[in-house]
């Protein structure tokens, strides 16, 4: 069993889809903390990024910025942990973020399949 941090937009239910399609992992879902204070939720997020084995980052087209997700990817980069990045906003401005990730795709289902493969080893 692996631990997976779910980085990305806070609206929608994509996190629930990941948990349903790739069960039997420990998931750190930032929606669960219900913290409003930036200091508190930043500490929670970064602690769980550090605790996770894998970061599953999803930049969906409806996400207005992705800044928090980029911080979480950058925070993880030097750790040697696996970072899966599903980026629906393909474009040159994402090149540096892409380079920090082990697996990059623009297709959510492909990201799910890769997560399934590496957590079921």
Is pLDDT of 90 > 80? no
Distance of CA 117 to the CA centre of its chain: 16
User: What pLDDT is stored for residue 48 in this prediction?
Assistant: 97
The predicted model gives 57-74 an average pLDDT of 92
Q: H or E stretch including 83?
A: strand 82-87
User: What pLDDT is stored for residue 92 in this prediction?
Assistant: 77
User: What pLDDT is stored for residue 87 in this prediction?
Assistant: 94
Distance (Å, whole) CA 42 – CA 26: 20
User: What pLDDT is stored for residue 101 in this prediction?
Assistant: 97
User: Cβ of 92: how many Cβ atoms within 10 Å?
Assistant: 7
Is pLDDT of 10 > 90? no
């Amino acid at each position: 069993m692996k631990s997976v941090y779910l980085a990305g937009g806070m609206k929608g239910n994509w996190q629930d889809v990941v948990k349903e399609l790739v069960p039997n992992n420990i998931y750190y879902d930032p929606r669960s903390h219900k913290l409003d204070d930036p200091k508190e939720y930043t500490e929670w997020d970064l602690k769980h990024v550090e605790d996770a084995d894998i970061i599953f980052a999803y930049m969906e087209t409806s996400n207005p910025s992705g800044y928090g997700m980029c911080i979480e990817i950058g925070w993880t980069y030097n750790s040697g942990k696996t970072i899966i990045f599903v980026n629906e906003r393909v474009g040159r401005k994402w090149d540096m973020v892409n380079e920090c990730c082990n697996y990059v795709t623009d297709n959510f289902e492909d990201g799910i399949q890769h997560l399934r493969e590496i957590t079921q080893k």
